[in-house]
Amino acid sequence: MSAEKTPIAPASNFIRGIIDRDLAENKFATKNWAGSPGGAEHQATGQVDAAKIRTRFPPEPNGYLHIGHAKSIFLNFGLARDYSGICHLRFDDTNPEKEEQEYVDSISEMVQWLGFGWNNESENNLYYASDYFEFMYEAAEALIEHDNAYVDAQSADEMRINRGTLTEAGKDSPYRNRTIAENLQLFREMRDGKHADGSLVLRAKIDMASPNINMRDPAIYRIKRAHHHNTGDKWCIYPMYTFAHPIEDALEQITHSICTLEFEDQRPFYDWLLEKLADASLLARPLPHQYEFARLNLTYVVLSKRKLIQLVEDKHVSGWDDPRLPTLAGARRRGYTPEGFKLFTDRIGVSKADSWIEYTILEDCMREVLNEAAERRIAVLDPIKLVIDNYPKSQSEDCFAPNHPLKPELGKRTVQLSKELWIEREDFMEEPAKGYFRLFPDNLVRLRYGYVVKCTSCEKDPNGNVTVVHCEYLPDTKSGTPGSDAVKVKGNIHWVSAAHAYECEVRLYDRLFKEANPGSGDRDFLNDINPNSVQTITAQLELSLKDAKPAETFQFERHGYFVADRKDSIAGKPVFNRTVTLRDAWQK
Ligand code: ATP
Ligand code: MG
């Protein structure tokens, strides 16, 4: 992958440009808000909207939020915040069957975790699109009454064939010229359950020869006998997404409806529909406008709901909040922070062109934020013993380690030094490689925050693996005491007193996929799973980490950033997840 420099945060983006212009033109000066969603009649009872703009984040509650949604959340809620506006959280639950309370709860939790809410002064801007079913039905009848919709009885196949192609106009349905009265009667029969699922659809009457296929009489209502989590069995007809979404925006008096690029070709229908309904006096003007931006594509990650479900259901991961998943629940458990996501979304910006963002950029943002936020602690992840032979056996003493090198005001904490210590296996080499400055026989190194020691020898097991390293300390060299730096050394290693250590489970997470574009070409994305995406080890940590609270984050010096797992930690016995290493090990 390219090692391109992280782009500088754009000062602005094209959507801000649009809002600036709209506000300068006073576009919303006469836009009313009655305090709740509703059509023209309802909004007329209100006042001029105090919110300068209204945006919305409209998840379908059929899955967990992922990192791509974070981009949309920061964009929509962020714009509202910056422009004295309001962002609605709207559950787009017009599709029956697939939606569940579990998803509603998790989505609400994650929006709040990222720092946003829907309780604004006197109003609560959390909405369910299914609450608008009645209005949508009336809107459909109004279209019929103005000869803008008809009930089609063609089969799905016939409809597909008669839709035409990109280069060929479509053909009018033989049912296109039913009378208004006939259409109204049939549509009411559809609602009343007099027709079989799929036997009839209501279609907008626009233009079967339109160069935009989405304008060739799109379906707007279908018959489907399905239980809905909110409306139960009240309806056996449901609106299509492309019909429902613009109406939802209009009822909520949204000013800027921001969506991803694949909806660009739907914009003419969005406008057509809202104009017709405003002409029929059902919706208030000014009408909302749709603006499209490029969705987030991230290397080494899959963001498609279908693929995420497969990873969870086939147990490639431990659940929706597995720290390796790009779900927000997983990222949170991994130790990624809202501040890190904020920095990331600022840095990648908002554009009109699809592109792939390097996963490294996200990791760098987390590093940057955690470097500021996380206190330092000492952890030995691959321990072997170091014995200080000339140190008294029953003695121990205080050493002082700064909690944060950039923030001296956070003070120092005490760590105990004693005769037997844990050090990293890689900090000793019996036969040193060239340029190796750590422990090897006769070499001097500093035990960080402690003494200079001279390595003397080592012990090995029958297989030749080093089990214990021996050394002697130089009593006048303790860090922080006068003259301690008289002895110059090149190496500086970290350690934990064996008698004062917290032995602990640590999970070393890595990327879930070993390929930058999982499943690209003809490969099955499951074959691109990194077989070493997690390694569980037993580490020796400084004793203070025993008291870490779930979700507390630290830098383990020389290793990276770690978080006390919010799920598996118990009081006095936290387990740690590696959030990200100090440096990028994937850069080639
Ligand atoms: P589906 O395929 O089920 O529609 P979705 O990812 O679009 O999945 P929604 O719940 O509809 O999920 O998404 C809610 C909002 O998040 C939408 O407005 C959508 O534009 C935005 N969104 C979803 N994925 C991304 C992404 N990768 N980058 C930016 N925004 C996204
Ligand atoms: Mg969607």
For residue 469, what pLDDT is reported?
98
Which mutation among 55, 62, 69, 103 tests ligand 1's pocket best, with the greatest number of atoms within 8 A of CB? Answer: 69
Phi and psi (nearest 5°) for 347?
-70, -40
- Judge if the upstream peptide bond of residue 286 is cis by omega within 30 degrees of 0: yes
CB 323 within 8 A of CB 330: yes
Residues involved in catalysis? 60, 295, 305
How far is the centre of ligand 1, averaged over its atoms, from the C-alpha of 59 (Å)? 7
In the chain, the largest separation of any two C-alpha atoms, in whole Å, equals 103
512 Ramachandran zone, left/alpha/beta (phi>0; psi -120 to 50): alpha
Which two structure tokens, joined as six digits, stand for 576? 């740690």
CB 154 within 8 A of CB 193: no
Residue nearest to atom 2 of ligand 1 (CA): 305
For residue 2, what pLDDT is reported?
40
Please give the helix or strand (H or E) that residue 160 lies within, else none. helix 156-162
Nearest atom (ligand 1) to Cα of 65: 10
Nearest atom (ligand 1) to Cα of 259: 20
Q: What's the count of helices (H) and strands (E) in the chain, helices before strands?
A: 13, 31
**Secondary structure (3-state) at 568:** coil
User: Secondary structure of the chain: what % helix, strand, coil (to 5)?
Assistant: 30, 25, 45
For CA atoms 344, 349, 66, 113, give the dihedral sign: positive
Which two structure tokens, joined as six digits, stand for 15? 């959507």
Q: To which residue do tokens 């390929």 refer?
A: 515
Distance CA 77, CA 299 (A): 25
Taking the CA of 73 as reference, the closest ligand is: 1
Q: Using one digit for the tens of pLDDT, what is the confidence trace for 439-476?
A: 999 999 999 999 999 999 999 999 999 999 999 999 99
For residue 10, what pLDDT is reported?
45
Integer distance in angstroms from the first to the last C-alpha of the chain?
Answer: 7
Residue nearest to atom 4 of ligand 1 (CA): 60
Return all residues near 489 (Cβ < 8 A) that are at least 6 apart.
437, 444, 445, 446, 452
Predicted model pTM = 0.94
**Secondary structure (3-state) at 306:** helix
Taking the CA of 301 as reference, the closest ligand is: 1
Distance CA 156, CA 492 (A): 73
CB 220 within 8 A of CB 234: no
Q: Using one digit for the tens of pLDDT, what is the confidence trace for 200-225?
A: 999 999 999 999 999 999 999 999 99
Q: Is 58 in the pocket of ligand 1 (CB under 6 A)?
A: yes
Q: Could you say which DSSP state residue 504 is in?
A: E
For residue 586, what pLDDT is reported?
65
Distance CA 267, CA 30 (A): 24
Distance CA 246, CA 278 (A): 12
Across the strands, what pairs with 560?
556, 581
The tens-digit pLDDT sequence of the chain (588 residues) is: 344 444 444 447 899 999 999 999 999 999 999 999 999 999 999 999 999 999 999 999 999 999 999 999 999 999 999 999 999 999 999 998 776 888 999 999 999 999 999 999 889 999 999 999 999 999 999 999 999 999 999 999 999 999 999 999 999 999 999 999 999 999 999 999 999 999 999 999 999 999 999 999 999 999 999 999 899 999 999 999 999 999 999 999 999 999 999 999 999 999 999 999 999 999 999 999 999 999 999 999 999 999 999 999 999 999 999 999 999 999 999 999 999 999 999 999 999 988 899 999 999 999 999 999 999 999 999 999 999 999 999 999 999 999 999 999 999 999 999 999 999 999 999 999 999 999 999 999 999 999 999 999 999 999 999 999 999 999 999 999 998 989 999 999 999 999 999 999 999 999 999 999 999 989 999 999 999 999 999 999 999 999 999 999 999 999 999 999 999 999 999 999 999 999 877 654
Phi and psi (nearest 5°) for 223?
-95, 125
Taking the CA of 305 as reference, the closest ligand is: 1
How far is the centre of ligand 2, averaged over its atoms, from the C-alpha of 81 (Å)? 24
Return all residues near 512 (Cβ < 8 A) that are at least 6 apart.
300, 301, 311, 317, 324, 325, 529, 530, 533
Distance CA 403, CA 410 (A): 6
CB 419 within 8 A of CB 391: yes
- Among 46, 47, 68, which Cα is nearest to 59's? 68
